[in-house]
C-alpha cells in the first residue's frame, strides 16, 4: 500500500519512485484534498458546535430543559428502539436464507432489499401516506377502527424502518456468503441443533459485522429527516423527533436551541464514525469486503 511506497522512497534517497508523482504535485493534490474536505465537511461540523455554544453553556443546556426537546429525545429513542431490532431480525433472517442456501431469484431478492437506498427520503415517507393516509389505500379501514398511523408514532416508525431496511441485511449477506456453510455443517454433523449451531457458530463469526451494521442503522434511524417529516405531522411534544425539533427551532429563529439539539445528533454521528473506523481498522477481515456504506 501507500506506506510501502514512501518507505522505499525514504530508504533510497536520490532516484525517486517512478510510480509516484513528483513532490510538488503530491503536496498540491494533498493540499487540494484536505482544503476541500475541510471546507465542505469539517467546517459545517464545527459550525454546529460553535453556534450551539454561541451564547454560552447556560443557553446551551436551556435547550434541553424544554419539555418539547425532552419528548423529542424520548420519541427518537423509542423509534430507534423499535426499528433497529426489527431490521436486525429481518437482516439476520434474510442473510441466513440468502447466504446459506441456493435458490432461484436470489439476486432479484437482494435488489428488492436494496430498493429503499435508491428511493428519495421524501418519497419513502409519501408511500406510507398513500397506504395509510386519510385518502390512502387502507386509510378508511384504519380510521374506522380508530387507529391512527399517519401523523402519529406508528407512521414515524414505519418510515424509519423503510429507510433503514437494507442496512443490516446488506452487510450480513456478503459477509455470510464469504464464510460459506462448512462450519455450520460441521456443527450439525456433530449433533448440534440448528438454533444451537446458529448461536455458537454463526453468531460469533458475524458479531463484528453485526455490530458495524447495527451502528450505521441506528445512526440513520435517529437522524432520518425527510421521510419522517412527511409522515409526522409536526405535532410538538407528540410526533416530533430530534431532527424535526431542530427544524422547528431553526424556523423559529431560535438558532442556539436548534444548534444545541443538532449538536446532540452531531455527537451521535461522531461517535458512530469513530466506532465504525475502529471496527474497520481492527476487524477489517471480519467485515464484508466493500461493506462500507
Partner 1 sequence: MVATPPRRFHFRRPSVIPGFGLTFGYALTCLSLVVLLPLAALVARASGLGLSGIWDVARDPRVASALRLSFGVSLLAALTASVFGFVVAWVLTRYDFPGRRIVDAAVDLPFALPTAVAGIALASLYAPNGLVGAQLAKVGIQAAYTPIGIFIAMVFIGLPFAVRTVQPLIAEIDKEVEEASATLGAKRLLTLTRVVLPPLIPAVLTGFALAFARGVGEYGSIIFIAGNLPFVSEIAPLLIVIKLSEFDYAGAAAIATIMLGISFLTLLVINLIQAWSRRRFGYV
- Could you tell me if 9 and 20 are in contact, meaning their C-beta atoms sit under 8 angstroms apart? yes
CB of 262: closest distance to partner 1 in angstroms? 4
Nearer Cβ to partner 1 (115/235): 115
Minimum CB separation from partner 1 for residue 55, in Å? 14
Q: Which is nearer to partner 1, 33 or 81 (CB)?
A: 33
Which residue number, 263 or 286, has a Cβ lying nearer to partner 1?
A: 263
Other Cβ atoms less than 10 A from the Cβ of 77: the count is 13
Residue pair 121/231 in contact (Cβ under 8 Å)? The answer is: no
Integer Cα distance of 48 and 70 in angstroms: 20
6 or 56: whose CB is closer to partner 1?
6
* Residue 238 or 275 with smaller CB distance to partner 1: 275
Q: How far is the CB of 81 from partner 1 (least distance, A)?
A: 17
Instruction: Tell the residue number behind the cell numbers 471480519, with chain if given.
Output: 286
Strands (E), the chain: none
CA–CA distance, 279 with 273 (Å, rounded to integer): 10
- Give least dist CB 146 to partner 1, A: 21
Beta carbon of residue 61, minimum distance to partner 1 (angstroms, whole number): 19
CB distance 124 to 163 below 8 Å: yes
Q: Which three cell numbers stand for residue 22?
A: 513528483
242 or 286: whose CB is closer to partner 1? 242
The dihedrals phi and psi of 280, each to the nearest 5 degrees, come to -65, -35
Minimum CB separation from partner 1 for residue 103, in Å?
A: 4
- Of residues 214 and 276, the one with the C-beta less far from partner 1: 276
Whether the CB-CB separation of 242 and 76 falls below 8 Å is answered with yes
Smallest distance from partner 1 to CB 67, Å: 21
Residues in CB range of 102: below 8 A, 6 or more apart: none
Give the Cα separation of 98 and 95 in Å (integer): 5
CB atoms within 10 A of CB 277: 10
Contact 171, 211 (CB under 8 A): no
Nearest distance, CB of residue 253 and partner 1, angstroms: 12
- Which cell numbers in the block locate residue 54? 454561541
Comparison of 188 and 238: residue with beta carbon closer to partner 1: 188
CA atoms within 13 A on the CB side of 25: 4
Three-point CA angle 167, 215, 70, nearest 5°:
110
Amino acid at each position: 500500500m501507500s506506506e510501502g511506497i514512501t518507505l522505499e522512497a525514504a530508504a533510497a534517497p536520490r532516484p525517486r519512485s517512478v510510480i509516484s508523482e513528483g513532490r510538488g504535485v503530491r503536496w498540491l493534490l494533498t493540499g487540494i484534498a484536505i482544503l476541500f474536505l475541510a471546507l465542505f465537511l469539517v467546517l459545517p461540523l464545527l459550525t454546529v458546535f460553535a453556534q450551539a455554544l454561541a451564547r454560552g453553556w447556560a443557553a446551551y443546556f436551556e435547550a434541553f430543559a424544554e419539555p418539547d426537546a425532552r419528548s423529542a429525545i424520548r420519541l427518537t429513542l423509542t423509534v430507534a428502539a423499535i426499528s433497529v431490532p426489527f431490521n436486525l431480525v429481518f437482516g439476520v433472517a434474510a442473510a441466513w436464507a440468502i447466504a446459506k442456501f441456493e435458490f432461484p431469484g436470489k439476486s432479484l431478492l437482494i435488489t428488492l432489499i436494496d430498493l429503499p437506498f435508491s428511493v428519495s427520503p421524501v418519497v419513502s415517507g409519501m408511500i406510507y401516506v398513500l397506504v395509510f393516509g386519510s385518502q390512502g389505500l387502507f386509510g378508511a379501514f384504519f380510521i374506522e377502527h380508530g387507529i391512527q398511523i399517519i401523523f402519529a408514532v406508528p407512521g414515524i416508525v414505519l418510515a424509519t424502518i423503510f429507510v433503514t431496511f437494507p442496512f443490516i441485511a446488506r452487510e450480513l449477506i456478503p459477509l455470510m456468503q464469504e464464510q460459506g456453510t462448512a462450519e455450520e455443517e460441521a456443527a450439525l454433523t456433530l449433533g448440534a441443533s440448528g438454533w444451537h449451531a446458529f448461536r455458537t457458530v454463526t453468531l460469533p463469526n458475524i458479531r463484528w459485522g453485526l455490530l458495524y451494521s447495527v451502528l450505521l442503522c441506528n445512526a440513520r434511524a435517529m437522524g432520518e429527516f425527510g421521510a419522517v417529516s412527511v409522515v409526522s405531522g409536526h405535532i410538538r411534544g407528540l410526533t416530533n423527533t430530534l431532527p424535526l425539533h431542530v427544524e422547528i427551532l431553526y424556523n423559529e429563529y431560535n438558532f442556539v436551541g436548534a444548534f444545541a439539539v443538532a449538536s446532540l445528533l452531531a455527537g451521535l454521528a461522531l461517535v458512530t464514525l469513530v466506532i465504525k473506523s475502529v471496527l474497520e481498522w481492527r476487524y477489517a477481515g471480519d467485515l464484508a469486503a466493500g461493506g462500507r456504506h
